Each structure stands twice: as C-alpha cells, then as structure tokens.
Amino acid sequence: MNLGFIGTGVMGTGVVNNLLAAGHQVTVYNRTKAHAQTVLDNGANWADNPKAVAQVSEIVFTMVGYPKDVEEQYLGENGLFAGTQPNQLFVDMTTSTPTLAQELARTSLEYDVEVVDAPVSGGDVGAREGTLSIMFGGSEEAFNRLIPIFEVIGSTWQRFGDAGMGQHAKMANQIMNAGSLVGIAESLIYAKTAGLNLPQMIESIHGGTAQNRNLDIYGQRILDGDFKPGFYAKHLLKDLRIALDEAKKMNLNLPMTELAEKLYAELSEEKNLGDDGVQALIKLYGDLN
C-alpha cells in the first residue's frame, strides 16, 4: 500500500520502520529532513511538504508535536488538504485536542476525504516493537480499513466513537500515565532516602500490585541517569493541559492531574528540561546516585 507519514520524531521513526518492514511504500515529510534520515535509509521516500505526501498516498498518518502543528500540516498552504485525492484517509496520531479533531473531520467533508484521530500510547519502545495501544475516533468504515495497518504497528486498537473520541481516550490514558510517573519518582526518592537498595526495590515492586508499564520502561533508565526522551516531558505537559481544559468543560475536578501538570510545568518551563524524557521528573526530587 502507498502510505504517507508526517512526523519522523522518536515515535514516528519506529512506526515508519515497522510499516516499511511490512512491505508498504512510505513517503515521509518532516520539518527537519535530517530527522527523517533513518527511515530514508531504510527505504522511505521523501516529499518536500505535506501536500506532496498526500498526492502520492492512499492513507496519510500525522504524528507531530502540538495542536498548532497539526493545523499547519492539514490547513497550511502546502498542507494535506491541498493535495487530496478521492476516498483518501488522513489519520492524526498526534495527541491533540478533541475539538481540533472534530473540526478537521468536518473540514475534510469539503474535500471528499476523511480525517480520523488515532493517538497512541506505548512510547518509543511500543513504537519500535510495534506494540502501541491505538485509541481511535472516526467512522467504523475507516476503522476497519485501518485494521491491517494497526496490526503492524500496535498490539491493541479500540474504536471509541466518532471524531474526537480517540483524543478523549488518550486524555484518560495520560491522566493515569502522569499519576504513575509521579508515583515512581516519589517511590524511588523515598526508597533512596530510607536507605533501601533501589534495584532490589524495583524488583520487589515488579512482583506486587504496584507493578506498572512505566516502571518497566523507565525504572532502569532512571537508575542509570538516562533521561533521553522516549516521550518528551514537554509533550506530557501539553497533554496534561489539554486534559485539564477538557475536564474544566465537563465540570470535573482532577487534583492529581493538576499536581502532575504543576510538576511537569516546573520541569519543562522553569528548569528548561522539557526536551528530556518524562522520567526526568525525578530531577525535581533529588539525585538518586
């Protein structure tokens, strides 16, 4: 299948590599071409802008940083909508706002194409290993059309409803994700201060009810002082702010999420560590070494 992919960052690279390995033709665009070099070396084709990607692709996936980036890739002068073809499907895998997802879906009707939202969870490991959890918002027809692709890049995929509902599902995911990361940081700093052996403590947690995927992915990285991003701290901050904004619209009070947003704002904006991975939260608490 001729596929397009916009956004070859940490996670996008893993997804594209899996699509290439499955035999798909993939045309890519990224604002910085050098960041696409890995997938280009693996056989992907390059396009100079999103419009050019759309012109040669049956299905185009986008995975960029922020809602404003999503708008640029779809609505810009050389955006996806400028290069549409009949029966085309655009799949936004960016964690964005439900409102924007719904707006893009409505706009797509003017071009005889469909935009769906399919944000993912699983970080760099899930993207690399093809084990992402995919949260889908859009028509059932589009969902069924995408299942052969989801089988390549994910281990689970769920349709939650029409456009925007995938983004709502991702917000629920990120609320739990952030709480887990705060818990890991506080657990490890407590254990260290109490004089416990940290690798032994992590092994013990793995065997009990507190075991969780974030600890699997980030526990050893934290102990090794490895803060390279599998998922950027600044992007989790963005997600938490979207979640809190949506919660406000629903008259929900989410104090733990508010705390997590405050901590990641301090890490990303006050300490300028937003380009570190989410596991860098431990830096707010102290040095484990």
Look up the CATH number of the domain holding residue 270.
1.10.1040.10
Query: Whole-model pTM above 0.85?
Result: yes
Burial label for 220, CB within 10 Å (0-12, 13-18, 19+), is middle
Q: How far apart are the first and last CA of the chain?
A: 49
Domain final residue, candidates 103, 133, 162: 162
Give domain status of residue 151, yes or no: yes
Say whether pLDDT at 288 is over 90.
no
Say whether pLDDT at 40 is over 90.
yes
Judge if 241 and 275 occupy the same domain: yes
Query: Long-range contacts of range 151-156, CB-CB < 8 Å, 24 or more positions apart?
Result: 152/18, 152/19, 152/22, 152/24, 153/15, 153/18, 153/19, 153/127, 154/120, 154/122, 154/126, 154/130, 155/126, 155/130, 155/131
Give the pLDDT confidence of 52-106 residue by residue, as tens digits. Answer: 999 999 999 999 999 999 999 999 999 999 999 989 999 999 999 999 999 999 9
Q: What ranges in the chain are assigned the alpha helix state H?
A: 10-21, 37-41, 50-54, 67-75, 98-108, 123-129, 140-153, 165-193, 198-206, 213-224, 233-249, 255-265
Judge if 184 and 158 occupy the same domain: no
Q: Determine the residue type at 57.
A: S
Judge if 110 and 213 occupy the same domain: no
Judge if 106 and 179 occupy the same domain: no
Q: What would the mean pLDDT of 3-24 be, rounded to a whole number?
A: 97
Judge if 183 and 277 occupy the same domain: yes
75: helix, strand or coil: helix
Give domain status of residue 203, yes or no: yes
Say whether pLDDT at 289 is over 90.
no
192 catalytically annotated: no
Query: Long-range contacts of range 189-196, CB-CB < 8 Å, 24 or more positions apart?
Result: 189/282, 189/285, 189/286, 189/288, 192/286, 192/288, 193/286
Judge if 29 and 118 occupy the same domain: yes
Residue 123: give the domain boundaries. 2-162
Structural domains of the chain, count: 2
Say what the pLDDT of residue 245 is: 96
Q: Which of 33, 68, 170, 228 is catalytic?
A: 170
